[in-house]
Amino acid sequence: MSAMLDIDNLVIRYRAGLFAPRLKPAVNGASFRLAKGETLGIVGESGSGKTSLLRAILRLLPVESGAIRLDGEDWLALKGDALRRARQKIGVVSQNPFLSLSPRLTIAEIVAEPMLAQGEKQGPAMREKIAGLLADCGLPADFLDRRARELSGGQAQRVAIARALSLEPGLMILDEPTSALDVSVQAQILNLLADLKESRGLSMLFVTHNLKVVAHISDTLLVMRRGDVVEFGRTEEVIRGPAEAYTRELLSFGRR
């Protein structure tokens, strides 16, 4: 299968003071591949490098060395208008939807924001498209004129997912998208993401500290510790026979 995302020997290092010794890389030579139409789970405890890796993929953090290819393009070489156009290929869903949903706007206005930023025009056609996105995420059309403060956590995350889908991305990046939700709601959101992946042919990058959660949805699994990739493979193989003690420890913790 062709790759949606190809990471080769990526090194990310935060800068210290002018005369301070060089810090250990936050991400130390990471290499992995995400095939189109698949979900890659990235798991590790706090400080493992997950967030730094995510921010580099989103071009929010400079890369010291290595390569990132997005849908065949040299992602790190893109600039200006070419970068802005290519960003449409990525939809992002964060941990806490209420921090990303403006309390001043209606749900229709929130979901419309990315489309308006790309030059699409407001009108009945856009409103119909937004209603369709909400329906795909399990929300009825009467949510269009509600506001974020009226929503439950699960409903707010569904709105965030609808907004991430508004520009029809090929890649969805999900940063701890269920950790702020109740267990029963977590399962609903995971099932929604699985359905969207199948119906839209999406590739997904699912970042979490919870190996049990990501095992439910991912095709491949990458385990990070202190900046290093310690394990990478098909999810069922990693779960059935983890090669590293650290992965076995995460599995044991997730089963408690």
Q: For residue 137, which of 207, 189, 97 has the smallest C-alpha distance?
A: 189
Angle at 29 between CA 213 and CA 244, to 5 degrees: 50
Taking CA atoms, 165 is separated from 30, 62, 138, 171, 172, in Å, by 28, 26, 13, 10, 8
**Residue-level pLDDT at 182:** 87
- Give pLDDT tens digits along the chain (256 positions): 689 999 999 999 988 766 667 788 999 999 999 999 999 999 998 889 999 999 999 999 999 999 999 999 999 999 999 998 899 999 999 888 888 899 889 999 999 999 999 889 999 999 999 999 999 999 999 999 999 999 999 999 999 999 999 999 999 999 999 887 888 899 999 999 999 999 999 999 999 888 878 888 899 999 999 999 999 999 999 999 999 899 988 887 655 4
- Dihedrals phi, psi of 194, to nearest 5 degrees: -65, -40
Residue 40's pLDDT is 97
Q: Give the pLDDT confidence score for residue 163 in this predicted structure.
A: 97
- Separation CA 50–CA 177 (nearest Å): 14
The pLDDT score that the predictor gives to residue 61 is 93
User: What's the predicted TM-score (pTM) here?
Assistant: 0.91
Question: Residue 108: what pLDDT?
Answer: 97
CATH of domain 3-254: 3.40.50.300
Helix, strand or coil, per DSSP, at residue 70: strand
232: phi then psi, degrees, rounded to nearest 5:
-150, 130
